[in-house]
Structure formats: C-alpha cells, structure tokens
Structure 1
Amino acid sequence: MQPLKLSYVTRKLHIPSLVLALVLLIGLPSTTRSCNQQEKTSLFQFLAELTQDGDLATSWHNNKDCCTWEGITCNMDGRVTAVSLASRSLQGHISPFLGNLTELLHINLSNNLLSGGLPKELVSSGSIIVIDISFNRLDGELQLSSSTAYQPLKVLNISSNLFTGQFPSSSTWEVLKNLVALNASNNSFTGQLPTHFCTSSPSLAILELSYNQFSGNIPPGLGRCSMLRVLKIGHNSLSGTLPGELFDATSLELLSFPRNDLQGTLEGQNFVKLSNLAALDLGENNFSGKIPESIGNLRRLKELYLNDNNMYGELPSTLTNCTDLIIIGLKCNNFSGELAKVNFSNLAKLKTLDLMQNRFSGKIPESIYSCSNLNALRLSSNNFHGQLAKGLDKLKSLSFLSIGKNSLTNITNALQILRSSKNLTTILIGHNFIHEPMPEDDIIDGFENLRVLAINDCSLSGQIPQWLSKLKYLGILFLHNNRLAGPIPDWISSLNSLFYIDISNNSLTGEIPAALMQMPMLKSGKTAPEVFELPVYYKGLQLQYLTPGAFPKVLNLGMNNFTGVIPEEIGQLQALLSLNLSSNKLSGEIPQSICTLMSLQVLDLSNNHLNGTIPDALNNLHFLSKFNISNNDLEGHIPTRGQLGTFPESSFDGNPKLCGPMVENHCGSAEARPVSIVSTKQSGSKVIFAITFGVFFGLGVLYDQIVLSRYFG
C-alpha cells in the first residue's frame, strides 16, 4: 500500500467527520442536571463490553453523575449528547446499548483497538448525527438497519478498519437522506461502486472510498450528486473511462482517482464544467493523450497530479492561467518539447514542480526561477542540456532539487549557483557533467543545511573534495561510479550525521582508514525525523524513500583499489545494515569483529585476497540475507549449521581450498575415508604387481638358464 498523499489542498478540502463533530459540538450547553439512571446504565453496559477500558472504569465509578465522566457530554436536561473517547487504547466491542441514549448526537471512538462490527442500533438511531469509529480493528461486513424510520445521521466515518464484503444495497441507504459525509476508505470492501448515493442522500458533500478493492467502472450516477465537493476513490481496481456524466457534479472541488486502471483521454469540454475544482488527482492510471488546452479555465486549481500515466505531447501554455497552482505532478509520462514555451513566472504560488522521467528537451527555462516560493524542483531523467542559469539562485525557499540523468555540463558552475540556496537539504545531480573534474575546495562553499548529496555516475576525476567536510548535517552521500582517486580522507569522521556512504566503483587507494571506524551514526544513533519534499528514488524506480531515516545505514567501498587488511575496529559499527568491501585488493583474515555486527543484512567481501578460515560466528548474523565471499583465498570448512547454510554455492565460489556440502570440494572424516581406502588399494595393487612381476621374471631367467645350458653346455 502506498503512503497517503496528504497535501495542502487535500488537508484544506477534506473535512473528516471528526472535525465536523467538533464543529457541531461547539455551543452545546453546559450541564446543569445530573444524568438519569437509564442513561448511566447504558454507559455501564458499554463499559462492560470493553476488555481494556483505558482506566475509564475507575473514573466513572468514582462519580455518581455520568455527566461529569470523562468523555461524556450532556445537555441541560441531563441527557447524554456526546461520547468522545478517541485515542484511549480501548479494546473490546462497541456496545449496541449506546443506541439507548435517546438524545445522543455524537460518537467518537476513533484511534482505538476496538474489534467486532458496527452495531446497527447506532446507525439507525433517531438522534445520532455523527459517528466516527475510524482507525480501529472493526471487521466483517457493514450491516445497516433496514428500518424505514427517519435517521438523522449526517457523518459516518468508518475509515481505516478491517471491513470486508460489498457495500450494503441501495435500499439500505435510502433512509440516510441527511448523509453529508461518508468515509469508508482504507478497508477491504469489494465489488462495484455503489450507484445510489446521489438519489438516496441528495445532500452528500464528501465521499471517500479510497484504499479498498472496488472494481468495475465509475458509475455515471455520481454526476447527479449536485452537492458533492470531495470525491476520493483512489487505490482501488477501477477500470474503464471517466464517464461524461461525472462532470455534471459541478460543485466538485477535489476529484481523486489515483492508482486504478482507468484509461482514455482527458476531454477538455468536460473539465471546463468543474470551475470550482481545486485539486485533480488522476495519477498512476493508464490515461493517454495530451493535457487539454482548456485546463487553463480551471482558475481555482491548486493541485494537479497526472503522474505515472501514458500521456504525451507538449505542456499547454494555458496551464499558467491557473495562477493558484501550488503543486504540478507530471512525472513518469511521455511529455516532450521545450519547457520554454510555458511561462512559469505566472505561477507565483508554485511550491512543487515534478516533471521527472519525461522527454522534455532544450535548456531548463529560466522562467522557473521566478517561482520564488518553489521548495521542490524535480526535472531528472529528461533530455535537458546546457548549464544551470544564474537565476536559479533566486529560489531562496528551494529545499529539494533533483536534476539527475540529463546532459548538463559545468558542475563547478552548478555548485557555485546552488550554494546560494541556503535552504537546500537534498541535491541529486548525478548522471551529468560526464568526465569533468570534481570541483576543488577553494571554489565551493555553502550548503550548510544539506542532508542528501548525490553526485554519482558522472565519471568525475580528482579526489574526494575537502569542501564535503563542511557539510555538518550531511547524512547520505552518493559518489559511486566516478573516477575519483587517492585515499579516503581522515576528516570523514568529522561528519557526525553521515550514515549512508556509497563511494563504490572509483579508483580510491590506500588502506581502509581508521577514521571510518569512528563514524558516530554507523556506531549507533537515530536519524533525524525529517521528511523529503518529494520521494527519493533508489535503484531506478524500484525503491522510494519518504524520509532520510528510511535509508539503511550503509558503508559501500566496493570496486576500488583498497589494500591492507579489514580493520578489527570494524566491529564498532554496530548500526551497519550493509557492508560492501568487494572487488578490492584486501588481504588477511576475515576479522572476528564482523561477527558482532548483529544488525547486518548485507555482507559482501568477494573478489579480494582474503585468506584463513571462515569464522564460525558469522552464523550468528541472523538478519543476513545477502552474503558473498567468492573469489578469495579462504580455506577450511564452511560453517553450515546456521545462517551461512542458507546461501548458494555462488557465495563461496573461487575459493579452491574451501570445502563443504555447497561446493564441489567435500571435506570431513566421513568423506575422507573412502579416498584413503582407494589409495591403499591402489598402493597394494602396485606391490602385488611388483612381487608377481619379480617372481615370473625370476622363473623366466631360471628357465632360460636351463634351456641355454642344454644347447651351449
């Protein structure tokens, strides 16, 4: 399941039932009378069905007046009007006896651990207008009362539970004519989308059904919801096209269908009807075609997500008529042409521009640099060329910059411009600046707040530059796939926040420095709880990280020219999850201290000159999932009674002196005896042959002597 996309407009337009409940509670009169015995009994029956009550029993039993109990609100007549017990770690079932509270208006039991079903008595109550039971463990099918009596329920929030099955039939919902907001997202509902909401609940304004297993087409009848403002049905298995009737719901402010299997083109004449639209999210579908020119008529549009589709063509210049735009997300499509045709200077409110993995060409347009509020700019994996323009230093709010995998030149110029953006925390500029020299220390400074730096796959020459030593907050460093030479500088241990180091596939030399064994964040420590402005992708699009802390703690020195032994002090790096020292010229034995790195998941020591035996204690690394010691000079038994026994033969290949069941060379006394017996038999045969040959040879000589004496005697 993908993380929820919670943006500025989504937060503003999405009105959860909990918020509505709080709004409706404002102005309720304070209690002036004690609650009656019947109401108290109903509340105690609710308490009796809880297996964990969050100390409510102590509080409630110590006071006779239930209107003073925690989480209980009464009106002036002493009748219970609200049960508000969110986030109390309650466990057990929701009691149907709450339905006996005849003047109950609001129930909020969200963010607990409640299980079982939702009692029909609550939904069919003649008084309750708000029910919020979100973020619990309620399960089974959603069963609503078939009663035809008036039901005043306005807000029903059952999101983030374990409900299954199909939605109740349309006849069941017909009695909920007052329903204003329904949130059933993040459950496991199946079947087709309900088609009856607009007729049964004409006041419906918010409908959220995301993160379920709904399938089939979008029902055209949703277009008859004249009051509908928020429609969110993303992360399901919907197919087909957007029905034209849907756009008759002209009050829509948020239309969200991401991560389905929808297809077709975006018809301009439909979208112009949604003049109130502030957020459009159709990402991660199969839409094709161009963005219609009429997009410019959506003057209230603040967020546009069309990412991960099959759309193509140039961006319409009319897009900049949407001067309220805050987010433009168009990554992973086939858009092309030169961006210079779009005047971004009209988008003064723009904060995020994501055009990654398209086919845009030409130079990065300088009009983007007029977006003074921009804090995330991602243009990576396109066909941009040339140098960064000086105007980029105007982006004083810029925090996230990703321009990798283009054909940009002059890395020195780029870094000199970027250093003026003091708020930069993430710079991803790899796969550019091919065969240029790494800028030296006297040229580059700044980047005081940088957390992530990627200058990989550039074939840069030179050494690891000293200006990196000034980046005191740097946590993640990608310098792999360059041509850097020389040793790892000792100042690297002064980077107290650094926990991900990938300098593999360079030409670095010397011994592995003791300074690396002093890295504080590789010894222990937690990473800062920060969030990227945009996800950082790793290994293509296979992995994405929303926070720096989601990255593993890694030391990758593979494919260099390091010599000497693996330092015994490597055992100090107790926080390491991945250690790669492969394809170097390291010698000596595998240090016992590696066996103490209990969190290690990846260990690659292949293609070196290591000798000696494999430490038995490596079997104690129970989290180890990737292991490679191939192509060394190791010898002796392979310890197989543990974790090492789970790895294939290829993990041990190229060590002719190793023996064990997973390699060709078997060893041990049981296997050795037949070899010695065979050898003994072979030796015995040779002895017998020699004796036999000698006897026959002697007899032959004697016979010859007898015969010759007869002839020559």
Structure 2
Amino acid sequence: MRALHFSHMKYSNRFPTTFLSLALVLILFLASPTSACTEQERNSLLQFLGGLSQGGNLTLTWKNGTDCCTWEGITCSPDRTVTDVFLSSRSLQGFISPFLGNLTGLLRLNLSYNLLSGGLPLELVSSNSIIVLDVSFNQLNGNLQELPSSTPARPLKVLNISSNLFSGQIPSTTWEVMKSLVALNVSNNSFTGQVPTTLCVNAPSFTLLELSYNQISGSIPPELGDCSNLKYLSAGHNNLNGTLPDGLLDITSLEHLSFPNNQLQGSLSNISKLKNLVTLNLGGNFFDGNIPDSIGELKRLQEISLDHNQMSGEIPSTLSNCTKIITINLNSNSFSGQLTKVNFSNLPNLKNIELMGNKFSGAIPESIYSCNNLTALRLSFNSFHGQLSEKISNLKFLSFLSLVDISLTNITSAFQILRSCNNLTTLLIGLNFKHEIMPQDDRIDGFENLQVLSMYECSLLGRVPPWLSKLTNLEVLDLHSNKLIGLIPDWMNNLKSLFCLDISNNSLTGEISTALMEMPMLKTDNVAPKIFELPIYAAPALQYRMPSAIPKLLNLAANNFTGVIPAEIGQLKALLSLNLSFNKLSGEIPEAICNITNLQVLDLSSNDITGTIPAALNDLHFLSRFNVSNNDLEGTIPTGGQLSTFTNSSFDGNPMLCGSILNHHCNSAAAGSVSIFYEKLSGSKVIFTISFSVFFGVGVLYDQLVLSWYFGQAK
C-alpha cells in the first residue's frame, strides 16, 4: 500500500448554497467594499516571498498595496482573514519564513512538492491556529525542535513532513501538547532514535502514524497500544527489532498494519483481534511459526504480505474465508504442503498470488484458475510438478506469470495453452522443460503483448525459434544456458522494442550477425521508457517497474561465434553492457567500440583477439567492468584514463601485453615469463559462470532470475 501523503488533500471553504446564504454574503460584500486583509498579514506573506530565491511567478499577483486575499494561492474568510496558503507544486526555492506564524487566522498551510530548504520554523508547529501543516516533498533539513510540555495545547491536527532531509530524533514532548493531533507523517527522512511514546497520551483522536523509510531503531513501544482509535500504522524500512506488542494487537480499530523490512520477530498467533484489518504487511523481517487458523476471522482483509520471513507450515484452509482479499504475498519463506487445502474459488477479488521460493508440493490447485480477476501469479522455486493446466487460459486478465523451476514438462503444450492469455506481458518459465526441443512451429502466436520472456537454463535443443519474430513488443529476451545451435537469425532487428538480449552459453555458430547492430533500442536513448504493469523484483525494497531500470544489454558470451567483431558495433550508442567472452572471435578490437560512450560493462575475454588495445577506451568514463584477458593482445596498455582503474586480472593471459598494471614493464626482459592468471578454454565452458558480466553489482530479479546470469552473480 502506498504511503499516505496529505499533500493530495484538497482544502477549501464551502459557502452554503442556499439563496439566503448567498444573499447574506452579497450584503456583507456590498457593506464593506474596501475591506481587505490586514497590513500585518500582507507583510507576513511578503516576508515569506522575500525568503524565496525562486518564487514560481508569485510576484505577478503578490504585490504590496493590493488585497492579499486576491493573491494566487491565498484564501480568506468572509472577514478577510487569511485562512489557507496553498502553494503546492510551484517550484518554490528558498527557505520557509517564520513570519507565516504571524497569520493569526491561518488554518491550513500546504507547501508540498517544492524545492524548499532550511529548517521547519517552530512558529508553524506551535501556531495557535494552524490545523493542517503539509511541507512534504521538499529539501528541508535539520532537526525538529521540541516544544516543552509546559506549552499550552496546540490545535494542530495533521502534520506531514514526509520526503525531506530531516535528521536527528523525532521529538517526544512536542506531542504532549498536540491534543487534537489526528495524523502524523514523517516518512522518507533520516530520523534516528526510537518511536515516540507520547503520541497518544493526550490525543484521543489520533488515527494515523507513518514512520517508514527512516533509520528509527529500538523496539515498538507498548504505549502505542494506548492509541485506541489508531487506524493506520506504518513503519517499514527502518531498524526496528523485538516483537509486536500485545497491546498493539488489541487495537480493534486498526485497518493498516505495515512494518516491512525491519528486524522484527515472533509469531502471529494473536493477530485475530484485529477484526477491522485491511492490510497486513510484515514482509522482510524474522517472523517464524505458521499462519494461524484464526486468519480467517479477518473478514475485511484485502492484503496479506508476509514475504521474506522464516515462516513455515501449511497455508490454513481458513484463508478461504477472507473473501475480500486482493493480494497474497508469501514469497521466500518455508511454507510447505499442498495448496489444494485452500479453496481459491472463494476469493473472487484475488488479483495477486505470490508464493515464490517456498516448499509447496503436489499439483498447482485447479481452484486458482477460477480467480477470474487474477493479474499476477508467481509460483517459482517450489516443488510443484506436471504439465501446465489448460484451465490457466481462463485467466483473461493475467499479465505476470512466473513459473521458474517447478519441474514443468511439455514446453510445446505450455505455449499452446498460454497463447490464450492475451494480456500476458511477462512470462518467466526458466529451469523447466529440461532437454526438450525448443518449439519451432511458426503457428505459435497470441503473445503480441509480451514484453519480457525468460527461458533460461532449460537445456533446450534446437534453434532460436522463428515465432519470436512476431513478438513485436518484446523488450527483454533471456535464452541463456540452453543448447541452441545455428546462426543468429536476421529478423532479430525487427524486434523494435528489444533492448536486453541474452543468448549466452549456447552453441550458436557463425559470425556475429550485423542484424544485431541494427537493433533500434540499442542505437538510441530517445525513446520514452514504458512502465511494466507489475514489478519484477528481487526483494521488498528492490523492484523494477520501468524497463529503463534494466540495463540495455547484449550478451553473446560462451558460444562458438567466429570472425571479427563487426565495426558496426559502434552504432549501439545506447548499450550499457556488452559481453562477447568465451567465443572464437579473431581480429582486432574495433576502434568503433569506443563510440559506445555510455558503456559500463565490456567483456571480450577468452577469444583469439589480436592487435593493441585502442587508447580511446580510456575515454569510456562510465566503464566499471572491463575484461580482455586470455587473448593474443600485444603492446602497451593505454594509461592515463579509465583503463588505469582496473586490476591485472582484466588483462592477464596476453603474453605480449605489457604495462605497469601487469608488473610487466614494456621492453622488459621478463616479457616471456609473464604469469598467466587464466588459461584459455577450448572445450567445455563450465568456467563461464565466473567470467565477467555482472551488472551494477547487485542481485536482481531474484524470483525468476530474469537476466539472472548478469544480475544474479552479485558481488
């Protein structure tokens, strides 16, 4: 569930629409034709404007000598008192003036979504009139000042300071004087310390607390159990530890409980008291035990996310009683048993089923295919077995399907069945169909909307299938670690949207096709990236919704390609990662490769490449991974640029290569005794898994290992 941001609230004073009320307003207006805001209020607003280095065109209406009630973003009451300052998303820069605290009738101040810096004036937090204060999504910094507990009660109801640069501890005594406080959002800052314990001491109407994305530590205070009207509690992505306090699990009003990515532990045995719970998100912690049978008593539950914990046992059949549920995310636990105990037919609203990385066995329950609204089904890395059921074609809205490593068989039947899922955009079916033949039937169709296709490590026999040429919306294609033979087909450049291609570790032959040099998405960055409908992600905090987050990549490594590296490769100016290692390529490194100025990964190792290393490679300033080891290169390694940042392992295995990096100085008599770190491989390419093509140094696409070889070999 997205964090709640109050900047989207619309604040306005609405006059009654009856004729009598309109007449009264008109009479008041006519009776005071010269009425205007006071000089103090006008000066206070001009002081605020004076503190801005960029005023977002406010000076067009904010002029001395005019009625400030007519200024842009200002609303006044009938008696011409400023009640609202609404200046959200105006590109304002500078600091927030404390003189705004002099607006004695100000009720609502919204400065969200700007570029304001400096601190938050205490005069605003301690105002005698402000009830809603929203400065979210700026660049405010520093600590929040404490209000002493002796301060008279303040009327503030809503405080949203999320998505700034605040640091230090969250004040504690301040909340003792906020007796009307309803909602507090401090998420996405750098606050440290512990969760405040005084939030509910004197604020009986306190309803919402959002603390996510900070550096808050310690345990969850039992005092939160005193918030008897609390509905929304979110503190994900912090450093909280300990267990969920019993008092917290007694708050029957609680609707949203979210603590993902902390260090919490314990069991969920007492969860049944939260009768009004709509969202339960405890993913990325250390919870253990099973899901209690009492989960079925949470009749309003719409989302349960317990992924990346240490939970086990079977899924209780009572989950079928949560008939309003939309999302079930149990990824990466140790749940076991057969899913057939859960009657998914009772869950008509279900859209997302996430069960990846557990120990489920038996057949995929047929009742899943009765969930007509299902858009995402992730069952990868379990112990299911058998063939894909024809009933999956009932899922007309299915967009994301991940079935990696579940012992599927009969790949031809699988594609014939899945062709009916017309909305499918992501299909991840690697580590299945072992040693079967890649379907070559040109009649395979129905995948026009497919954007991501991964069939890696299946040991599939045959050739790159011609029906792939019909997938005109394909953006990511991963066929690595199969047993495909033959040439790279010339139609590859007809895939106008393809920007990430991995056909490494196969038995492809011939020269590197120049068709690859004409791939439109690798030649230009002047294409606005689309957004994947559903995320491909590795962990709760690491997800990829946009293709631009996945590198533009070409991996042809560990095949039997011969000939030279085409000079046309310099046309692929948008390429970020290029891997041609472990082939039989000859000739020199083409100078044109230096035209790929955004290149971050370049691996030409273990080939038969000759000649010198082009000096212009030093100008590839983004190059962070480079390997030309185990070739027949000669001459001096160019210095004074990017190549000087790499170690000798990037150059080893070239006896005629010299330079200070290799401790083999040019013109040295020791030229013939240079130690070779790697031996050239001529047969099996088992060592390919340690060859270099890791991108960004992070483990990504964990569940289905799309592009797994690059992203999965994290260092």
Q: TM over 0.5, yes or no?
A: yes
* Residues in 2 aligned to 1:199 and 1:577: alpha-carbon distance in whole angstroms: 55
- How far does the alpha carbon of each residue in 1:578-606 deviate from its partner, in whole angstroms, 9 at most, with x for none? 11111111111111111111111111111
* Residues in 2 aligned to 1:541 and 1:118: alpha-carbon distance in whole angstroms: 32
Aligned to 2:7: 18
Residue correspondence of structure 1 range 374-385 to structure 2 within 5 A: 374-385=374-385
Aligned to 1:107: 109
Aligned to 1:51: 53
| Conserved 8 A contact 2:664-2:670 | no
SS in 1 for 2:661: coil
| Structure 1 or 2: more helix by fraction | 1
| Conserved 8 A contact 1:508-1:560 | yes
SS in 1 for 2:357: coil
Change over 3 Å in CA distance of 1:528–1:463 after alignment to 2: farther
Aligned to 2:545: 546
Q: Deviation at 1:148?
A: 3.1
Aligned to 1:208: 210
Q: What letter is aligned with 1:189?
A: F
Residue correspondence of structure 1 range 591-610 to structure 2 within 5 A: 591-610=590-609
Change over 3 Å in CA distance of 1:572–1:35 after alignment to 2: same
| Conserved 8 A contact 1:527-1:548 | no
Residue correspondence of structure 1 range 569-584 to structure 2 within 5 A: 569-584=568-583
Aligned to 2:151: 148
Change over 3 Å in CA distance of 1:674–1:347 after alignment to 2: closer
| Conserved 8 A contact 1:17-1:181 | no
Aligned to 1:681: none
Q: What letter is aligned with 1:158?
A: I
| Conserved 8 A contact 1:416-1:443 | no
Aligned to 1:187: 189
2:39 corresponds to which of 37, 40, 62: 37
Q: Are positions 1:257 and 2:259 aligned together?
A: yes
**Larger-gyration structure (1/2):** 1
| Conserved 8 A contact 2:235-2:258 | yes
Aligned to 1:91: 93
2:125 corresponds to which of 123, 126, 138: 123
Q: Deviation at 1:174?
A: 2.1
Change over 3 Å in CA distance of 1:319–1:531 after alignment to 2: farther
Q: What letter is aligned with 2:183?
A: A
Q: Are positions 1:160 and 2:163 aligned together?
A: yes
Aligned to 2:272: 272
Q: Deviation at 1:164?
A: 1.7
Q: Deviation at 1:469?
A: 0.2
Aligned to 2:684: none
| Conserved 8 A contact 1:63-1:69 | no
Q: Deviation at 1:258?
A: 0.9
Question: Which segment drifts farther, 600-609 or 633-642?
Answer: 633-642
| Conserved 8 A contact 1:380-1:403 | yes
Question: Which segment drifts farther, 465-474 or 53-62?
Answer: 53-62
* Residues in 2 aligned to 1:408 and 1:25: alpha-carbon distance in whole angstroms: 62
Q: Deviation at 1:306?
A: 0.4
Residue segments in structure 2 that go unaligned for 5+ positions in a row? 17-21, 30-34, 673-715
| Conserved 8 A contact 1:431-1:456 | yes
Q: Deviation at 1:277?
A: 0.6
| Conserved 8 A contact 1:263-1:288 | yes
* Residues in 2 aligned to 1:380 and 1:168: alpha-carbon distance in whole angstroms: 45
Q: What letter is aligned with 1:213?
A: Q
Q: Deviation at 1:664?
A: 5.3
| Conserved 8 A contact 1:17-1:130 | no
Change over 3 Å in CA distance of 1:446–1:200 after alignment to 2: same
Q: What letter is aligned with 2:595?
A: T
| Conserved 8 A contact 1:635-1:657 | yes
SS in 2 for 1:198: coil
* Residues in 2 aligned to 1:543 and 1:406: alpha-carbon distance in whole angstroms: 24
* Residues in 2 aligned to 1:73 and 1:437: alpha-carbon distance in whole angstroms: 71
Q: Deviation at 1:211?
A: 1.3
| Conserved 8 A contact 1:233-1:256 | yes
SS in 1 for 2:209: strand
Q: Deviation at 1:104?
A: 0.8
Tell me the percent identity: 63
Q: Are positions 1:232 and 2:234 aligned together?
A: yes
* Residues in 2 aligned to 1:75 and 1:543: alpha-carbon distance in whole angstroms: 47
* Residues in 2 aligned to 1:594 and 1:542: alpha-carbon distance in whole angstroms: 35
Q: Deviation at 1:634?
A: 1.5
Change over 3 Å in CA distance of 1:543–1:457 after alignment to 2: farther
Residue correspondence of structure 1 range 277-676 to structure 2 within 5 A: 277-526=277-526, 529-537=529-537, 544-663=543-662, 665-668=664-667, 671=668
* Residues in 2 aligned to 1:562 and 1:155: alpha-carbon distance in whole angstroms: 65
* Residues in 2 aligned to 1:120 and 1:404: alpha-carbon distance in whole angstroms: 55
- How far does the alpha carbon of each residue in 1:118-150 deviate from its partner, in whole angstroms, 9 at most, with x for none? 222222222111100111122222124436334
| Conserved 8 A contact 1:99-1:121 | yes
| Conserved 8 A contact 2:283-2:540 | no
Change over 3 Å in CA distance of 1:110–1:543 after alignment to 2: closer
Change over 3 Å in CA distance of 1:46–1:543 after alignment to 2: closer
Q: Deviation at 1:19?
A: 4.3
Q: What letter is aligned with 2:455?
A: I
* Residues in 1 aligned to 2:64 and 2:281: alpha-carbon distance in whole angstroms: 52
* Residues in 2 aligned to 1:672 and 1:308: alpha-carbon distance in whole angstroms: 58
Q: What letter is aligned with 2:525?
A: G
* Residues in 2 aligned to 1:427 and 1:117: alpha-carbon distance in whole angstroms: 48
| Conserved 8 A contact 2:438-2:462 | yes
| Conserved 8 A contact 2:76-2:82 | yes
Q: What letter is aligned with 1:258?
A: P
Aligned to 1:169: 172
Aligned to 2:139: 137
Q: What letter is aligned with 1:179?
A: L
Change over 3 Å in CA distance of 1:501–1:226 after alignment to 2: same
| Conserved 8 A contact 1:576-1:599 | yes
* Residues in 1 aligned to 2:482 and 2:76: alpha-carbon distance in whole angstroms: 70
Aligned to 1:77: 79
* Residues in 1 aligned to 2:146 and 2:114: alpha-carbon distance in whole angstroms: 22
Aligned to 1:702: none
Residue segments in structure 1 that go unaligned for 5+ positions in a row? 676-713
- How far does the alpha carbon of each residue in 1:232-273 deviate from its partner, in whole angstroms, 9 at most, with x for none? 111111111111111221111101111111101111xx3222
Question: Which segment drifts farther, 137-146 or 420-429?
Answer: 137-146
* Residues in 2 aligned to 1:188 and 1:397: alpha-carbon distance in whole angstroms: 40
* Residues in 1 aligned to 2:541 and 2:558: alpha-carbon distance in whole angstroms: 23
Question: Which segment drifts farther, 337-346 or 307-316?
Answer: 337-346
SS in 1 for 2:644: helix
SS in 2 for 1:60: coil
Q: What letter is aligned with 1:512?
A: I
Q: Deviation at 1:611?
A: 1.2
SS in 1 for 2:318: helix
| Conserved 8 A contact 2:307-2:331 | yes
Q: Deviation at 1:94?
A: 1.3
Q: Deviation at 1:653?
A: 1.6
| Conserved 8 A contact 1:375-1:533 | no
* Residues in 1 aligned to 2:106 and 2:383: alpha-carbon distance in whole angstroms: 62
Q: CA RMSD in A?
A: 2.1
Q: What letter is aligned with 2:365?
A: P
* Residues in 1 aligned to 2:204 and 2:247: alpha-carbon distance in whole angstroms: 16
Q: What letter is aligned with 2:628?
A: I
Q: Deviation at 1:533?
A: 4.6
Q: TM-score, normalised by structure 2?
A: 0.89
Change over 3 Å in CA distance of 1:476–1:340 after alignment to 2: same
* Residues in 1 aligned to 2:178 and 2:13: alpha-carbon distance in whole angstroms: 21
Aligned to 1:693: none
Q: What letter is aligned with 1:574?
A: K
Change over 3 Å in CA distance of 1:571–1:105 after alignment to 2: same
SS in 2 for 1:165: strand
